[in-house]
Structure 1
Amino acid sequence: MEALGAAVNILSAIDLSAKVGLLCLEYAKAVKNAQTEIAQLHREAVELEKALTDMQSLLEGADKEKLKSSQRLNGALKDSVMQLQMLEKRLHPSTSRKAMSRIGLRALKWPFESKEIDLFITNLRKNKDIILLTLQVDQTALLLEVNSTLSSLDQKWVLSRLQIAAGASFDSQAEEHNPTCLPNTRVDLLNQISEWVKDSKSQKLFWLNGMAGTGKSTVARTLAQSFSQSGHLGASFFFKRGESDRDGLSKFVSTICAQLVESRPTLALHIKATIDSDPHVFDKTTREQFSKMIVQAFSSTTEDPRNSNPTVIIIDALDECVRQEDVELIIHLFSHLEPSRIKVFLTSRPELHIRISFNSVQGTYDSFTLHEIPRLTIYHDISIFLSHELARIRMGYNLSVSEDRKLPPDWPGELQVQTLTEMAVPLFIFAATVSRFLADRRLGSPNDQLQEVLQYQAESRASQLDATYLPILNKLVSGLWAKQKEKVIKRFRETIGSIIILRSPLSRSALGRMLELSRDVLDGQLEMLHSVLDVPPDDSPVRIFHASFRDFLIDPEKSESWFWIDTKQAHRYIALRCLNLMEKNLRKDICNINRPGTSRLSIQQQVINLKGNTNLAQLLQDAMRLTLANLPIIDSHPLQLYSSVLAFAPKNSIIRQLFQRYMLELFSLVPETQDDWDGCLQVLEGHDNWVTCVSFSENSKILASGSNDRTVRLWLVDSGQCLWELHGHERPIVSVTFSQDSKLLASVSEDGDAQLWSVESGKCIKELNRYDDWVTSVAFSFGSRLIVSTRQDQTIRLWETGNEGSSQAYKGHEGWVENVVLSPQSGLAASYSDNIVHIWRIANGQLLRDLRGHADRVTLVSFSRDSTLLASSSYDKTVRVWRVDNGDCVQILRYKATVKALTFFPSSRLLVTAIYSEIQVWDIATGECIQELSGHRDWVTHVAFSPDSKLMASASEDETVRLWQVGDDERIRNKNSSDGSMLAWTVSTNRALIASVSNDHLQLWRTDNGECTQKLKGHDDSILSVTFSPNTRFLASSSYDGTVRLWKVDTGECLQTLEGHLVGRVHSTVGC
């Protein structure tokens, strides 16, 4: 009714204000002595009419129900109507129209005194202001509602983009049945942490540590629940070993972000903007994710003055995060968190790497050690817990049994509770596990179970874990004979061993399929372990309740125990089971695509089916080579594995020979290929122009390449994946180099621009071209503290990586400084200008000696790994090798053109150079070229060895980088005289002989002196497998020629050839 009244009054007021306005216009024409008052009244009437019209439009609009304030304006509207009625009556008396018609407008007289009209104007203005203010209130409410709707949409959009670690939050289903602190337990500790949260001057971190089973996670869940109710909780993350999303950082930041967006919706707008600007932000490093999604989000939002509560983030069980580096990173990131309104509560065991990490951020955290709480306090808390649980168990049991079987009302009695409490202190996990054990009806009555537990009273913590878990495990073998025990224990190790080492937990059905166990057998194995395993009734994953159970089972000191699990054997067992599953179920074109040209984008999953009983190590090595060599095409078009990849594999490739029937189905003419794999492991493609330089990180895990396309790429060496593509240079790259700690990369472009990059984030952290002249190269000294840059102002400069100022400048060159190279060991630097090489001492900048002898400009220099030799190349088409200690030239190598790439072999006895598209390996002592590597299609521009000496990288103008497998000096020197690489080998039963396979023949070697005693030839194709007879007198070999040959070991004579097999189908032999 109130809203209806308001609408009626608005219509009346609009009509009256219009009339008053028109009357004012008539008076303005006729009355000259009151023009000011008439104009003011007219203006107020018109403005009131506009305000009322606006209000009418809103009250009749779609949002009329939302205009709560406007619907309560009856007072102001009634007063406006009354004021306007009085004005109209005074301005338009009943006789006025007759008077005006009789004597005209000139006869009108202004009916108000000055003070009287001022009062009317004031009242009208007051009512208008009330109406306008009310409109603003309602409009503001509407805008806030719209903004809230938009924020809600932002929130939903962000949440839809974030990957969540299932089960990580305190209120997740996975944590639902895990306990919280009972009332009147942990009182002092919980109060202390609550005060820490409220105290604005307290440290930003609180570390609760304690040994396994002391109740850290229970405290964390209790706090999370409490802070959630009070509005303090921003996010929680409960790490759990063995769950792929919860034992690492792959989804850590995104999970924290999602919870923060739900608890602090104002953050959604910034996070949405971040994702919009960088859709792949969650593929970046954890550090960058944390900075953009958490630090910057809080920094960009203003604190609500009505809510000064800090935002608390709870992180539980840091020790269950698998990688120690990740734990260190978490502590570092949160300790440097800038927003003062964020506080972080963390729990963990006091393991060494965690203590070290916290010690490195001293002054940023408070801490508390659970197992140092006074024993009396722990005793009190555990006693309350046990009394509560035992009462619950007694009640549940008594409700389900007949009267004569019920437990006494005071069961188990005060003395028994005291004994259990003494056994438990300080391990809450003992109390929790024993409670589950007593409640498990499958194992017997609670009282019988209690008596078993009481037999394990102990003093040490190790004994406490025995008392916690042995009563449960011993039930598995109780009353069994020795052979029955062995069978049960074997099944236990296979089943439970698999559960505790799995990267991600599996459901019972998945476990059964993997372990090849029926549901009945598996359930029978698990049904007596519900006290230590969470076995859901549905198809959810099976999990251990507490990490201490895993610790107990794999403890090396318990290796003599029936229940000890050898993790290596457990991993081996799972691997064999998985291989068996793949052997049975995988096949070619498992997705039924049928067309080799189909892109991977349209295929959900593709696997290859490897059949045949070939030597596993040999097979895997060949598969690795095949995969690395063809990674780009396999990644984009997986079915090419069965066609072009096979067709271009070496003839002796095991994979090619196993699958050659697929290749022959597609090709009528197979391309000619090399017989065996060469030294090139992988070709890295991606640059759009010449690759000019390469450099390995000191840990040999990352390769950097610079290109004429003005980018630097960072590659993962083991997989060939491009980790970062660095943009920022405006000209082609001429030099890249890593710091000694592998954390920084320096790059130089041909315009003299030098930039310093973070390897972890891929971001440019500093530009080094602060001088007017160009930088021509950059190198790092030991410790990564100094950057050595050569310049075309004929100087070398040394500066600190963390300091903007240059520390020293060394002069002494007669021309531009083309490059500088640091020695690996002796603290020397070599630079060159014109045809002279200069050797410097880095520590003091002393010029030690000049190396003269080249007839034209020097183009490259390189130190040997042991820093005793230095090689230099020149436009005079020679390479000179110099002794560093005295400057003597010990070797001169002559070429037909200028060498483009130069480096020493890791042994320092061989030299690698490149000319045209070929790479040559030289014996420095003799000056002989002992090996040539081909494969690039254009000039090789750079070569570099990995610090671990396993790989060599070569850059080329064909826009690729190739990775080569490195052998030792002797292997390279003897390569041309060998009969072929060893593809497989086996050892005789008496360990006296080794039989090795080299393509189509065998060799026998004595193990005591390495002497080759026999060469066995006769097969017409590659040999697949070889085995000795148990008495070592005979040797059997199978081959792709379809035969098995039986050899006499002492003479090498072929005793018999077994024929009749299909070609290519003899994969194994068994010793006779």
Structure 2
Amino acid sequence: RFQMKVKVLSRNPDDYVRETKLDIQRVPRNYDPSLHPFEVSREYTRALNATKLERVFAKPFLASLDGHRDGVNCLAKHTQSLSTLLSGSCDGELKVWDLTKRECVRTLQAHEGFIRGVVVRYCGTSFFTVGDDKTIKQWTMETPGYGEEEEPLNTILGKTVFTGLDHHQNKSVFATCGQQVDIWDEQRSSPIRSFSWGVDSFSSIRFNPVETDLLGSCASDRSIILYDMRESTPLKKVVMTMRSNTLCWNPMEAFHFTCANEDYNLYTYDMRFLEKPIKVHMDHVSAVLDVDYSPTGQEFVSASFDKTIRIFPKNDGHSREVYHTKRMQHVICVKWSSDSKYILSGSDEMNIRLWKANAAEKLGVLSHREREAANYSQKLKEKFQHHPQIRRIARHRHLPKSIYHQKNELRVMKEARRRKERNVRKHSKPGSVPVLSEKEKHVVSVVK
């Protein structure tokens, strides 16, 4: 009837015995907070050191792929292979790169004049190019054998110049834009559907990676137009104060897209509510030429005429990172690699550059202790990120002199405009000069 408790000392040798004699001594830890009265101050010092070391080890530039004889105009990722990149230049030359070896594995003269767009088919067996010579060409991904000619699998002659190209995620359908937006079936030499909305030219076209029948395009009348491939007419368009150069859909959130604008900003919209953008992303000091999302959908990278590329968190108005080199000129195209670790940029001075997405990340295989230390440092930095000293060190970036002065000049101009608006409102009839938020200022109208 009576239960007797017997307390036994139980020691697991794994808790205190070293695996090898080269290992450090294992020390038992008691995590009771009352025994660690100065824990927060010690953690703060560690977080400060981790933040400083992150800036010391921030070396984002990895490699430069040179070989083009004219400016790089467009880039395309391979849909099945992480290490394969395609690039088209302004002299009609297309190169296929092996990123692991950092060398060009194939070169072909695809078009006369500029290559305006390159896209790889969803299965990865072939790719499409469009150029200034009014043709769409389909090429096999396989390198031709010794003595064989580089011939396209298929050539379609168009009536006008094509300025953009994109392929459907899982159908043998692709879209082009120029004087109008055309939807093509790979088996036919004429478009199966054409859209135009009183616009004389389009600059880019993108399929939605989630809702795969939706498309978005940027037009020359400062508008962004949305289409459904299953319908005969466009869905709706939003007209902005300045022209958008290109747009990119968020790969994780079906209705969100970000457009790169001529007014130095990027705008993230929800396609269901186009009256104003969800977020305005500012930091560039010249026109933004290209934008691409990371596969996680949490960040995007932008390329600008101001010779820099910037990385923005999707919900943040300012960039977390800015990359530049002395030799890099106007950045025309940018891509985020499919494993979310690298960024590729193509610029005016004929080079493709490979960057780390996290500037201070250590590449290669990490030992268990290295990984544990990196995770611990990351958590400490997140815990203390709003402390003034840590925030100042983490946010500071050294900018080229021209960009630094231009940034200050833009700030003065913006403040002057704000002051003038305030004075006008002060001396006007109450309510006659409405207060517009930054989001509402840039949208002219929404047409459905």
User: TM-score range, shorter-chain basis?
Assistant: 0.5 to 0.7
Say which of 798, 803, 818 aligns to 2:203.
818
Cα drift, residue 966 of structure 1: 3.1
Task: Determine the structure 1 residue equivalent to 2:298.
Answer: 909
CA contact (8 A) 2:341 2:356 kept: yes
Say which of 295, 304, 315 aligns to 1:925.
315
Task: Determine the structure 2 residue equivalent to 1:679.
Answer: 60
Cα drift, residue 785 of structure 1: 0.6
- Aligned CA distance change for structure 1 residues 798 and 981 (closer, same or farther; 3 Å): closer
1:950 aligns with 2:341: yes
Deviations 1:688-711 (A, max 9, x none): 111111110111332110112320
CA contact (8 A) 1:835 1:857 kept: yes
Deviations 1:781-808 (A, max 9, x none): 133411211131xx22222212223322
1:870 aligns with 2:254: no
Secondary structure at the aligned position of 1:783 is classed as coil
Say which of 742, 752, 759 aligns to 2:141.
759
Task: Determine the structure 1 residue equivalent to 2:278.
Answer: 890
Say which of 680, 696, 713 aligns to 2:77.
696
Say which of 330, 342, 347 aligns to 1:939.
330
Deviations 1:885-917 (A, max 9, x none): 332411123443111221223322323112222
Say which of 223, 229, 239 aligns to 1:836.
223
Say which of 832, 842, 847 aligns to 2:234.
847
Aligned residues: 313
- Aligned CA distance change for structure 1 residues 848 and 938 (closer, same or farther; 3 Å): same
CA distance in 1, matches of 2:205, 2:380: 48
1:708 aligns with 2:113: no
CA contact (8 A) 1:937 1:958 kept: yes
Cα drift, residue 732 of structure 1: 1.8
Task: Determine the structure 1 residue equivalent to 2:189.
Answer: 804
Rg larger for: 1
- Aligned CA distance change for structure 1 residues 862 and 845 (closer, same or farther; 3 Å): farther
CA contact (8 A) 2:344 2:354 kept: yes
- Aligned CA distance change for structure 1 residues 1005 and 943 (closer, same or farther; 3 Å): closer
TM-score using structure 1 length: 0.27
CA distance in 1, matches of 2:171, 2:366: 45
Cα drift, residue 986 of structure 1: 6.0
The aligned amino acid for 2:154 is K
TM-score using structure 2 length: 0.63
- Aligned CA distance change for structure 1 residues 749 and 995 (closer, same or farther; 3 Å): closer
CA contact (8 A) 1:698 1:946 kept: no
1:861 aligns with 2:247: yes
- Aligned CA distance change for structure 1 residues 675 and 910 (closer, same or farther; 3 Å): closer
Cα drift, residue 680 of structure 1: 2.9
Task: Determine the structure 2 residue equivalent to 1:485.
Answer: none
Secondary structure at the aligned position of 2:312 is classed as strand
Say which of 943, 955, 962 aligns to 2:353.
962
CA distance in 1, matches of 2:104, 2:67: 8
CA contact (8 A) 1:752 1:776 kept: no
The aligned amino acid for 2:160 is D
CA distance in 1, matches of 2:291, 2:324: 16
Cα drift, residue 1004 of structure 1: 10
The aligned amino acid for 2:293 is F
Say which of 101, 104, 115 aligns to 1:722.
104
Say which of 175, 196, 221 aligns to 1:788.
175
CA distance in 2, matches of 1:730, 1:686: 18
- Aligned CA distance change for structure 1 residues 759 and 883 (closer, same or farther; 3 Å): same
Cα drift, residue 753 of structure 1: 3.2
Counterpart mapping for 1:354-433 below 5 A: none
CA distance in 2, matches of 1:1006, 1:945: 27
CA distance in 1, matches of 2:120, 2:62: 23
Identity of aligned residues (%): 16
- Aligned CA distance change for structure 1 residues 802 and 680 (closer, same or farther; 3 Å): farther
CA contact (8 A) 1:982 1:996 kept: no
CA distance in 2, matches of 1:985, 1:697: 27
The aligned amino acid for 2:322 is E
- Aligned CA distance change for structure 1 residues 763 and 715 (closer, same or farther; 3 Å): farther
Secondary structure at the aligned position of 1:768 is classed as strand
CA contact (8 A) 1:739 1:784 kept: no
CA RMSD of aligned residues (A): 3.1
The aligned amino acid for 1:891 is K
The aligned amino acid for 2:129 is S
Higher relative contact order (CA 8 A, sep 6+): 2
Counterpart mapping for 1:988-1067 below 5 A: 994=369
Secondary structure at the aligned position of 1:773 is classed as coil
CA contact (8 A) 1:945 1:951 kept: yes
CA contact (8 A) 2:94 2:107 kept: yes
Cα drift, residue 940 of structure 1: 1.0
Cα drift, residue 944 of structure 1: 0.9
Cα drift, residue 863 of structure 1: 1.2
Secondary structure at the aligned position of 1:706 is classed as strand
Counterpart mapping for 1:166-565 below 5 A: none
- Aligned CA distance change for structure 1 residues 962 and 688 (closer, same or farther; 3 Å): same
CA distance in 2, matches of 1:959, 1:849: 38
CA contact (8 A) 1:779 1:820 kept: yes
Deviations 1:458-492 (A, max 9, x none): xxxxxxxxxxxxxxxxxxxxxxxxxxxxxxxxxxx
CA contact (8 A) 2:281 2:316 kept: no
CA distance in 2, matches of 1:927, 1:1004: 27
- Aligned CA distance change for structure 1 residues 742 and 877 (closer, same or farther; 3 Å): same
CA distance in 2, matches of 1:715, 1:1004: 32
- Aligned CA distance change for structure 1 residues 778 and 995 (closer, same or farther; 3 Å): closer
Give unmatched runs, 5+ long, in structure 2.
Answer: 1-54, 144-149, 382-448
Task: Determine the structure 2 residue equivalent to 1:352.
Answer: none
The aligned amino acid for 2:127 is L
CA contact (8 A) 1:914 1:920 kept: yes
Cα drift, residue 883 of structure 1: 0.9
The aligned amino acid for 2:328 is R
Task: Determine the structure 1 residue equivalent to 2:156.
Answer: 768
CA distance in 1, matches of 2:96, 2:123: 16
The aligned amino acid for 1:782 is Q
